[in-house]
């Protein structure tokens, strides 16, 4: 694969990378650094990509490996400010919370999970099958199902707490 | 909020895309990963130590002719040992990461290689002092014979062999133990958090 083709592939799949950076980076500069580090690692690992799996699957592996094990700055959970919370609480009772706000709450909730659970829930939201998740993470599909049930329960509680400002 | 209900919102999220030029520019940049930083530090050690030891060896060979050429040989030996140390450490660092592998096997590999790296660091760092002491002892024995009768570290008419052996045993044991403790504390400070984090991530995967 030439450099041009590689750049095209990264551009086409960069939504994946941006989401990983948003979940694993604390601040905007952290996310930009992580994005750059992932691109560097992808380029270096490219000779090992033999096309046995989809480019996006391979990309998930490299990106998650970089975010989880290389990016060692202490993760701090994202948060929603006090006034936003009060407003969210009132409006959630009136079912007026917008899609963007719900997405923000979800990001905040996921950022409070441990690193591996963050990766699992992200792949789940990306509509990856348990077999694909196993191929990326190396955790058996059965174990992933059990973990996913636990994570769903945790997230239900976390999003409830965040909406109520705790 | 149900996770399954959020899938559509998650997948509809608008992403601020980076352009081709930005991505191309990133490719040429240096990696900031801990392993890349360790490799750069190792290269820096190489650039500092090889010329210093080389110059030291040449100086003793030329300036003192045959009188202190043994010190020149000590420097040469140290240089050879350092080169071995560099290649071994570099090999371990190159094998430490497999970013294309599954997350679990990459973490297991990293943990195994970091532990091996730390063990090598500890053993080689600790062994340096007793090896140097023995070398210096031999050099002084041949070059400063006047010392023989003044210290318990050499056998003489007034210093029986058992006393000389005991003195060396105590000197080497104490110095090696101190060096080992200092090295262990330093290595723990450098890599302890990294190893604990890797173990913690693997526990998350396996639990």
Segment A154-164, tens digit of pLDDT: 988 888 887 77
* Residue B189 burial by Cβ neighbours in a 10 Å radius (0-12, 13-18, 19+): exposed
Residues from chain B contacting residue A97 (CB–CB below 8 Å)? none
Give the residues of chain B that fall short of pLDDT 70: 1
- Yes or no: domain A3-70 corresponds to CATH 1.10.1740.10: yes
Domain ranges of chain B: 32-95, 102-207
Q: How many CB pairs under 8 A join A and B?
A: 140
> Could you give the residue range(s) of every CATH 1.10.1740.10 domain in chain A?
3-70
Nearby residues of A5 by Cβ (< 8 Å), 6 or more positions away: none
Report the pLDDT value the prediction gives residue A91, as an integer from 0 to 100: 52
User: Which fold would CATH assign to domain A82-163?
Assistant: Arc Repressor Mutant, subunit A (1.10.10)
Q: Do B32 and A37 touch (CB under 8 A)?
A: yes
Contact present, A121 and A155 (Cβ < 8 Å): yes
Q: Do B15 and A18 lie within an 8 Å CB cutoff?
A: yes
Closest partner residue to A102 (CB to CB) among B1, B27, B98 is: B1
- Structure confidence at residue A80 as a pLDDT band (50, 70, 90): low
| Closest alpha carbon to A10 in A41, A50, A47 | A41
| CATH 1.10.10 placement within chain A | 82-163
Please name the residues in contact with B191: beta carbons below 8 A apart, sequence gap of 6 or more.
Answer: B114, B117, B118
Residue among B12, B15, B23 with most chain A CBs within 10 A, to mutate: B23
pLDDT for res A141: 94
User: B3–A117: do the CB atoms touch at under 8 Å?
Assistant: no
Provide the chain A residues 105-144 that lie in CB contact (below 8 A) with chain B: 105-106, 114-117, 119, 121, 124-127, 135-139
Q: Give the pLDDT score at B157.
A: 79
Q: Distance (Å, rounded) from C-alpha B56 to C-alpha B110?
A: 37
Burial class (CB in 10 A: 0-12, 13-18, 19+), B176: middle
Which pLDDT belongs to residue A94? 46
Is the model's pLDDT at A81 over the cut of 70? no
pLDDT surpasses 70 at A27: yes
Cα distance from A70 to chain B (closest Cα, Å)? 5
Q: Provide the pLDDT for residue A62.
A: 94
Give contacts of B93 with chain A, Cβ < 8 Å. none
Q: What's the pLDDT tens digit per position in B65-108?
A: 777 787 888 889 889 988 988 998 899 888 888 888 999 999 99
Contact A151, A117 (CB under 8 A): yes
Mean pLDDT over A18-23 rounds to 90
B157 burial (CB, 10 Å; 0-12 / 13-18 / 19+) is: exposed
Which ipTM did the prediction report?
0.82
For the record, the structure tokens of B92 come out as 């371990």
Angle between helices A55-65 and A130-137 (to 10 degrees): 50
B103 and A68 Cβ atoms separated by less than 8 Å: yes
């Amino acid at each position: 694969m030439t450099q041009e083709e590689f750049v095209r592939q990264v551009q086409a799949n960069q939504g994946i990378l941006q989401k990983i950076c948003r979940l694993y980076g604390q601040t905007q500069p952290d996310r930009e650094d992580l994005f750059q580090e992932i691109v560097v690692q992808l380029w270096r690992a490219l000779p090992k990509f033999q096309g046995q799996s989809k480019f996006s699957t391979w990309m998930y592996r490299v990106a998650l490996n970089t975010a989880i094990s290389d990016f060692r700055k202490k993760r701090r959970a994202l948060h929603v400010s006090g006034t936003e919370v009060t407003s969210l609480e009132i409006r959630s009772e009136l079912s007026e919370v917008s899609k963007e706000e719900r997405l923000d709450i979800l990001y905040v909730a996921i950022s409070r999970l441990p690193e591996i659970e963050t990766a699992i829930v992200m792949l789940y939201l990306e509509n990856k099958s348990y077999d694909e998740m196993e191929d990326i993470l190396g955790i058996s599909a059965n174990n992933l199902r059990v973990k996913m049930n636990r994570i769903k329960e945790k997230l239900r509680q976390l999003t409830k707490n965040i909406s109520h400002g705790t | 909020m149900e996770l399954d209900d959020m899938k559509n919102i998650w997948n509809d999220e608008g992403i601020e895309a980076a352009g081709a030029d930005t991505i191309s520019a990133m490719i040429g940049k240096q990696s900031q990963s801990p392993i890349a930083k360790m490799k750069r530090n190792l290269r820096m050690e190489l650039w500092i130590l090889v010329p210093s030891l080389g110059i030291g060896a040449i100086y003793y060979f030329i300036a003192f002719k045959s009188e202190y050429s043994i010190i020149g040989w000590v420097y040469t030996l140290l240089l050879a040992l350092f080169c071995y140390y560099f290649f071994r450490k570099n090999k371990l660092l190159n094998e430490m990461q497999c970013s294309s592998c599954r997350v679990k096997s990459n973490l297991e590999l990293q943990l195994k290689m970091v532990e091996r790296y730390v063990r090598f660091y500890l053993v080689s760092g600790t062994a340096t002092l007793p090896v140097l002491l023995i070398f210096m002892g031999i050099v002084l024995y041949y070059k400063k014979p006047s010392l023989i009768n003044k210290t318990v570290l050499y056998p003489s008419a007034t210093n029986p062999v058992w006393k000389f052996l005991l003195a060396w045993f105590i000197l080497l044991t104490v110095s090696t133990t101190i060096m080992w403790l200092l090295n262990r504390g330093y290595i723990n400070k450098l890599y302890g958090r990294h190893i604990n984090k890797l173990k913690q991530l693997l526990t998350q995967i396996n639990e």
